[in-house]
Amino acid sequence: MAHSYTPGLKVTRCTLLKRRRLLPIKGRVVVNRGDMVEPETVVACTELPGDVFPVNVANLIGVSPKDVAGAMLKQKGEAVEKGETLARSSSFFGLFKSEVAAPASGIIETVSGITGQVIIRGAALPVEVRAYIKGRVVDVFPEEGVEVETVATFIQGIFGVGGEVSGILHVTSESPGQILSEDLISSDQRGCIVVGGSVVTAGALRKAVECGVAAIVVGGIDDRDLRDFLGYDLGVAITGSEELGITLIVTEGFGTIDMAGKTFAYLKENEGRLVSVNGATQVRAGVIRPEIVIPIATAAEEICYSAEEPVLNEGNLVRCIRTPYFGRIGRVTALPHELQSMESGAVVRVLEVQFENGEQCILPRANIERIEEK
């Protein structure tokens, strides 16, 4: 049987999931191997070197750079408080004095005799890394972080904004095609991960932020609504650091698109569970897609691993990801070897698909993604 390689998003009912939780620089790991952790548990912490404040003392007190060291009231390595006099010069037999105050509290790191510049290093910035998902610590990397493992229902979205949050899963839409409108959002959903259907409206997004909803998971969003919500037009899909008061995960794409039936079903059957989501997306080399992790009470040994490779075969379920059939779902009926000419004139590798309504069509292989069925 003919087959070919194809990418696709993971939508899995039960999988063993591991997440490395690492510090940006070396620090201290505060949990042990085997510990059970909640999403908010701090697993490692460190301190980043403080901000740097350069002060051109020579210019400010009117001395030559080589005389700055002599004018300093505090020396290299000493602490200064914001507003404290850092250096002083006097002229005309002490009649006129010039002073410079420290712009920030910190430690004097350098005093340059060439440029007359003094550099103050501010207080260290504490950094904490949390577990993000509920699970067990299975590995500890000394001074760096840990690996947390959980058995979970795992769903990848296609695009998201906002970072890591956790909350109780709340499915508001009755079907994958229902629009998530303002009236479906209420203050009862504070801290929840709210699931909608085909699209979220701009009004619903705004109200969700007002009501303190932690995240929204939905099939689609209109580009204009996203632009209004972000306050700018997104040029490249590298997200995750937005501070919008909510995380948004889109499972299908831009526009009004029914959420894939399987995705919606998995979310529906896990309603009420504690889930972790991350909107961070990076569509570049080293691709990162947003994710929904729903830890479930299954022992690791009981997992039925999916042995499927990302290979496309006849009979596979696929989703069209480009016009003119964007969003439609069908089954592969043939994978011809020969290149074929499309309406655009492009001569490409193709596949034949039969849609759910029986309609048959030929598509470029690049314009579909496979939907896993397990």
Partner 1 sequence: MSIPDPDSIKVILATDCGSTTTKAILFEKVGDEYRQTFRGEAPTTVEAPFEDVTRGVLNAAQEVEELSGRKILDENGGFIKPACGKDGIDVYISTSSAGGGLQMMVAGVVRRMTAESAERAALGAGSIVMDTIASNDRRPPHQQIQRIRQLRPDMILLSGGVDGGARSHVVELAELIAAADPKPRLGSTCKLPVIYAGNKEVQEEITRILGDKTDLDLVANLRPVLENENLGPARDRIHDLFMEHVMQQAPGYRKLMSLADVPIMPTPGAVGLIIQNVAERKGLNVVGVDIGGATTDVFSVFDGNFNRTVSANLGMSYSISNVVKEAGLENVLRWVPFEIDERPLRNAIKNKMIRPTTIPQSLSDLIIEQAIAREALRLAFIQHRDFATTLSGIQQERSISDAFEQSGGGASIVSMMKLDLLVGSGGVLSHAPSRCQTALMLLDAFQPEGFTTLAVDSIFMMPHLGVLSALHPQAAAEIFEKDCMIYLGDCICPLGNARPGKACFSLRLESSDGFVLERELSYGELALLPLGTGEEARAVCRPERNFDFGAGRGRVVEKVVRGGEVGLIIDCRGRPLTLPQEALARTRQLAEWMKILEIYPADRFESVVKAYGGVAERSV
Could you list the residues that contact partner 1 (CB under 8 A)? Answer: 5, 7, 49, 51-54, 65, 109-110, 112, 114-117, 119, 121, 158-159, 222-224, 226, 233-237, 253-255, 281, 283-286, 321-324, 326, 342-348, 363-364, 366-367, 369
Nearer to partner 1, 22 or 211 (CB): 22
Q: How far is the CB of 326 from partner 1 (least distance, A)?
A: 7
Q: How far is the CB of 232 from partner 1 (least distance, A)?
A: 9
Q: What's the token pair of residue 80? A: 């200064």
Nearer to partner 1, 90 or 117 (CB): 117
Element holding 204 (H helix, E strand) = helix 202-211
Nearer to partner 1, 285 or 297 (CB): 285
User: What is the strand order of the sheet 125-130 is part of?
Assistant: 28-29, 42-48, 125-130
In this structure, are residues 135 and 150 in contact, taking their beta carbons and an 8 Å threshold?
Answer: yes
Nearer to partner 1, 112 or 298 (CB): 112
* CA pair distance 83, 103, nearest whole angstrom: 6
Q: How far is the CB of 341 from partner 1 (least distance, A)?
A: 8
The dihedral through the CA atoms of 207, 169, 257, 17 has a sign that is: positive
Q: How far is the CB of 351 from partner 1 (least distance, A)?
A: 12
* CA pair distance 82, 105, nearest whole angstrom: 4
The dihedral through the CA atoms of 344, 350, 356, 359 has a sign that is: positive
Residue 30 makes CB contacts below 8 A (sequence gap 6+) with: 42, 43, 44, 45
* CA pair distance 354, 357, nearest whole angstrom: 8
Q: How far is the CB of 235 from partner 1 (least distance, A)?
A: 3
CB atoms within 10 A of CB 153: 23
Nearer to partner 1, 114 or 297 (CB): 114
Burial class (CB in 10 A: 0-12, 13-18, 19+), 121: middle
Nearer to partner 1, 272 or 336 (CB): 336
Q: How far is the CB of 321 from partner 1 (least distance, A)?
A: 5
Q: How far is the CB of 206 from partner 1 (least distance, A)?
A: 19
Nearer to partner 1, 222 or 314 (CB): 222
In this structure, are residues 347 and 341 in contact, taking their beta carbons and an 8 Å threshold?
Answer: yes
